[in-house]
Structure 1
Amino acid sequence: MTLLTEAPLTAAERNRAYADTLGWGARLAEVRRALNPRRTAWDDAALVTETSKWQARTGLAADGVLGPTTWAYLRVAAGLDPDPAISAQLPAQGPGFYADGPRERHFARPETVRALLATALGWHDARPGGPRIGFREISVRGGGPVTGHGSHRLGLDVDIRPVRADGKEAPALWNQPGYSQSLTQELVDRLHGNGVLPVHFILFNDPHVRGVRKWDGHDNHLHVRFRPPVPARPSAAVPPASGVRATDALGTLVAPGSAPPYRFTPDDLLWTARFLVGETGGSRAGAEQAAVVWAMLNRYGLLTRSRYPSFHAFLRAYSTPLQPVLRNWRATRRAARQDDFVPIGGMFGPPAPPGVQMGQRQRYIALQRLPWERLPAAARSVAVRALTGGLANPVGNATEFGSTRVYFHDRYGRYPGQEEWQRFTERFAAGRRWTWIGPVPGLDQLGNTFFVQNRLAGLAPRAVRVLPP
């Protein structure tokens, strides 16, 4: 087993996971209708293809994955949910512009309104005597379908009148008298250079105007589509109480079996970093740190999802440095030999021998209270990479780890040599129906040794995956 870069999940595999974790799988018929209402034959590959096409039309990265950003826009475009961001109404008039048509169709995203106002202000500065730009339909409040349009659903599409040569603020056709090609070209240039929101495309049929595309039905207006801003997602917002600074959205854990995918939270990120400090010291970002995190991701994904509602709750129960009071009497007896041991509670009962005092080391009590910004940078870095899908897995499907070197010392009162340690490790694993993963280049297992449960032997290598956000 080597430290290799893992093959990325395919778009179809990521979609199958996101269908559950984002909830759009329960509305698949509506999703397909929104992507392409004319398509009748659907499978995983068709969903990737149509998602990619929709993303390209919308101005999103066309990867075919219906992930958090794409779903945030598609659900609005499909009319499934309103978007409160589409609530900025373009004023009826202002420097350099007027808004024509029904006022209830002049709602947009704030960025779109700012882009239009910036364009109009530049136009006004250059041409204070007019004519003004004629903005027409944008979207309805909250977005969604608009009668008479296949687009205008996301607060990003704006219809604009071509500029007339006679100064009138009235309709114009590009191929009829009254139309000014030079002024319309200037308008197109100013839209592209608005400085607020990039233009995705402009549809207009004058073949001599640069920066536009020809499209049926666009002789008498310019259809401008701005690129969508990345929406703020609840998963990307970090609650102040967690102590974690704001970061990008976290990834999603997927594993074979019936358990649904699990979306990581800021609390998961915080406790993963604390876990790394407790288990590895947290001062390095190497193979050992990746190994212990992946053993925990594997264990949670394959074995304990049904017992713990969150990844951080699992970490806090499993990892002895994260337990307020140590659960295991053997671990407690070892901890009690340290000068910073703090007695908490009473004594362990059978099967523990008499006199084993419950408690925890003070260093771990302090660790459990340490805020994000005071945790080592290496631990924070590994935690972020692990929970956003950027950390390679060096231990396969290992779900168990522990220091067999320490276990040897506990039994024999001395530390083993290399060959002696390896024989002891293999016997230790066999006694628990585990298999030692064997030597891994770059991974020192004298501190933490990694094992795969024999019942997991039939799984594909690296069965648990973390989808990027």
Structure 2
Amino acid sequence: MIRRFLSAACAIAALALPLSLAPAQADPLAKDVFGAAPGPTGGAPAAIGFYSKGCVSGAVQLPETGPSWQAMRLSRNRNWGHPQMIDFLVGLSGAAQKAGWRGLYIGDISQSRGGPMVTGHASHQMGLDADIWMLPPSSLTLSRQQRENLSSVSVVNKAGTQLTNYWNPGHMSIIRAAASDRRVERVFVDPVVKVAMCNMETGNRNWLRKVRPINNHDYHFHVRLACPAGSVCQQQDAPPAGDGCAEAAEWIENRVNPSRVKPTPPDPNYRHPRSFRLSEMPAQCQTVATAR
């Protein structure tokens, strides 16, 4: 009798186990679904959602190597983007050559369907963000393995107050060219870089408004495009009026005198995009993620 009872209990437990896992299986983490996507969707290109909660359909891949660029860290498979981003990067790499560089080393853009990534970025989800290395290319014929091993360089000293000797006039020309492109929404750089460019610019300063100070952008600069035609994007607030140079200088001052900074309590409602379930993504992105 006891043996039959235990056998029945085990059978019930075995039946109950899949049921307890069903909710997670039916609603997986979005990063896992987008990270495992076999490739881009077909159809007209469209960026959907927001930079930190979105996706891209009809993405195209930046060729691994071109006459003026190389895509880095190929093992990540993040050299995909909206066609406008790919066109922008090819054009900017040509501008880099005119500025005296061999071209550009291009880091992460997006996954083949965008969406949250298994590691790293909170943004880069719509194929409209790209990281460009501060390291001027020494060669555009690097092997796949060399692209995994090579690191960029920081153009800001460890104190976060001055440029290093790695900075050269080409950086200024390339970042100016990026920010001057009408398709560009933002260019994110370390505040030391922003202030340096503010001091160097003697002509038209309008482009400086798009260049925004942010930490951890001394090894690369981050370009963000505005929502292209045919897309369904949540609009980002426009940059504050003015060239933003005083704001960037204040960032540096706060590094020198951290006691000036009043602690900001963390947002209890903030969640990193890696925690989003597929059901929490825009409805169109749920379709993009699971399309065959």
TM-score in terms of structure 1 length: 0.30
The higher-RCO structure (CA 8 Å, 6+ apart) is: 2
TM-score in terms of structure 2 length: 0.47
Larger of the two Rg values belongs to structure: 1
